[in-house]
């Protein structure tokens, strides 16, 4: 029987033990993710998540993460962006701080127009997302993901679940870091088993009592290369190559070195 609670506790303790910061500061960095609730977010936040999520498609997460402040600056709210024309698009394409991907920038403008129409119909963008009932059941979650894929540009299965994760849905992306960790733990058969991985992550949530986003961020930080959350761990532990297994408390559950 898999000890999900023990694995997660070991992952968090590994991060704390290897951080240059004291325990309280590390835990403080994660605190906001403990109660990650859709109802606490406003339209601006929800739209900006939609604006940056497509940029993750086919790109390394850290490449996009570094650019999120610039993406948000260029896509401040859907009312503004829905009025963008080719002059605005060219401005972004010529911004050296921006991820200058023409298709994704055009997608951001197109999606803003879609959001504006949905907000007009439902009162707010949040009301539209609420109508998807993604937190009612696993079946409704998958229906919501399919609806998002069919509604927005540059939205696929992985990015749809990424979007849902970042707005407080009871799901996890899962990205390449999480897939690497779950595969090494033999909790999923391979790194492409995304549906199985989401079910496994649900078990972590059930056993620990934490939010999906909290489980997500802790597992990701165990294997991330760069410390974008400033947890005092410049390089992760469960890295793609040359992982620091001797410093990892999860190793007793892991099959990587076996």
Average pLDDT over residues 87-108: 95
| Cis before 115 (ω within 30) | no
Task: Check whether 57 has a pLDDT greater than 90.
Answer: no
Confidence (pLDDT) at 174 = 82
Confidence (pLDDT) at 258 = 75
Question: What pTM, to 2 d.p., does this model score?
Answer: 0.87
Task: Check whether 227 has a pLDDT greater than 90.
Answer: no
**Rounded CA separation 218/8 (Å):** 8
Task: Check whether 29 has a pLDDT greater than 90.
Answer: yes
Three state DSSP letters for 140-203: HHHHHHHHHHHHCCCCCHHHHHHHHHHCCCCCCCCCHHHHHHHHHCCCCCCCCCHHHHHHHHHH
How much of the chain, in percent, has pLDDT values that exceed 90? 85
Confidence (pLDDT) at 1 = 87
Confidence (pLDDT) at 103 = 94
Task: Check whether 13 has a pLDDT greater than 80.
Answer: yes
Would you place residue 35 in the very low, low, confident or very high pLDDT band (cuts 50, 70, 90)?
A: confident
């Amino acid at each position: 029987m898999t000890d999900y609670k023990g694995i997660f506790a070991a992952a968090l303790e590994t991060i704390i033990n290897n951080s240059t910061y004291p325990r309280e500061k590390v835990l403080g960095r994660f605190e906001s993710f403990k109660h990650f609730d859709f109802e606490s977010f406003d339209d601006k936040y929800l739209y900006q998540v939609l604006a940056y999520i497509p940029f993750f498609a086919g790109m390394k997460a850290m490449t996009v993460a570094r650019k999120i402040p610039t993406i948000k600056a260029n896509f401040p709210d859907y009312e503004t962006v829905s009025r963008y024309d080719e002059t605005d698009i060219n401005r972004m394409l010529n911004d050296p701080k921006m991820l200058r991907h023409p298709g994704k920038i055009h997608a951001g403008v197109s999606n803003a127009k879609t959001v504006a129409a949905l907000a007009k119909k439902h009162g707010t963008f949040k009301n539209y997302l609420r109508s998807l009932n993604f937190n009612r059941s696993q079946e409704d979650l998958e229906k919501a993901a399919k609806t998002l894929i069919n509604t927005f540009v540059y939205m696929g299965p992985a990015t749809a679940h990424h979007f849902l994760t970042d707005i407080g849905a009871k799901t996890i992306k899962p990205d390449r870091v999480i897939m690497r960790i779950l595969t090494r733990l033999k909790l999923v058969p391979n790194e492409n088993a995304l549906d199985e991985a989401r079910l496994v992550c649900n078990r972590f949530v059930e056993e620990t009592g934490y939010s999906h986003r909290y489980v997500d961020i802790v597992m990701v930080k165990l294997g991330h290369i760069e410390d974008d959350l400033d947890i005092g761990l410049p390089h992760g532990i469960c890295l793609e190559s040359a992982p620091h297994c001797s410093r990892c408390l999860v190793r007793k559950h892991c099959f990587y070195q076996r």
